[in-house]
Amino acid sequence: MEQPDMNIIIGSHDILFLCLDTLRYDIAVREQDLSHTPVLNHYGPWEKRQTCGNFTYPAHQAFFAGFLPYSSDVRKLSNRETLFFAKHIGEGRIAPEYAYTFTESTWVKSLENEGYETICIGGVSFFDKRSAIGKVLPGYFKHSYWAPKFGCGVRESTKNQIAFAVKKCSSFPKKQRLFLYINIDAVHYPNYFYLENAKKDSLESHAAALRYVDSCLEPLFTFFKQRAPVFVICCSDHGTCYGDDGFELHGVNHPAVTTVPYKHFFL
């Protein structure tokens, strides 16, 4: 995967961060290889990576602090690809010259200080702002939104999120740089209703939910391509188990949970 220079991207590009919440790496690659996700396939193959958190909250705390999923092939910390580098944390490494260095608590806040409008479209309950903990992650953004129609139990959640995102982002002039994060929650449980006649969640309904998400993405990409150069980060925050080795769901350090798909690309 080509290494982008974030110091050139910041300020000149809009940034779009799509988190396909709970998407398993193995299912993402299977659907890719079967050509079931043509929109995502157009922008290159999934890369196998490891996440720093085994459920949404810790994974996103890591993400927004600069610790995006890292390559499964990398053994040394110093060799990890870094897009956003927190200057005063870790083992005192010198930031790679292609990484964007920040001193704020999150790179989201740093982008705001650089003049970006930062926008969060929520999905799962950690983004719904209906509880104190549900306000933490959205609170990192200048603008944050959630509605029941974006929730996990709504079959058209991704379509609703993207329609809202396009409408909201259309209110900004094209010269205004945007950072948009969307927590896409369709793959998260429950997802059985994406598979005809299914009564419970399974690997097959998980895959069907991914196909649904892919079918919704083109309007979002088309909108952003028409307003500015765009850099996209697309990944999962964690996977989940469907009886793998006796485990159910996530919040456990099983390979099906900690191994995630990742890609970044330009529109």
Q: Looking at the domain assignment, is residue 133 inside a domain?
A: yes
Write out pLDDT tens, residues 76-90. Answer: 655 667 898 888 776
Write out pLDDT tens, residues 197-235. Answer: 888 989 999 999 999 999 999 999 999 999 999 999 999
Residue 149 belongs to what domain range?
6-266
Residue 95: what pLDDT?
75
Q: Looking at the domain assignment, is residue 250 inside a domain?
A: yes
Highest mean pLDDT of the ranges 25-34, 80-89, 252-261: 25-34
Q: Looking at the domain assignment, is residue 1 inside a domain?
A: no
Q: Looking at the domain assignment, is residue 232 inside a domain?
A: yes
The pTM for the full model equals 0.92
Rounded CA gap, 214 and 12, in Å? 27
Q: Is the pLDDT of residue 19 over 60?
A: yes
Residues 35 and 41 sit within 8 Å (Cβ to Cβ): yes
Number of structural domains, the chain? 1
**Residue 90: which CATH number?**
3.40.720.10
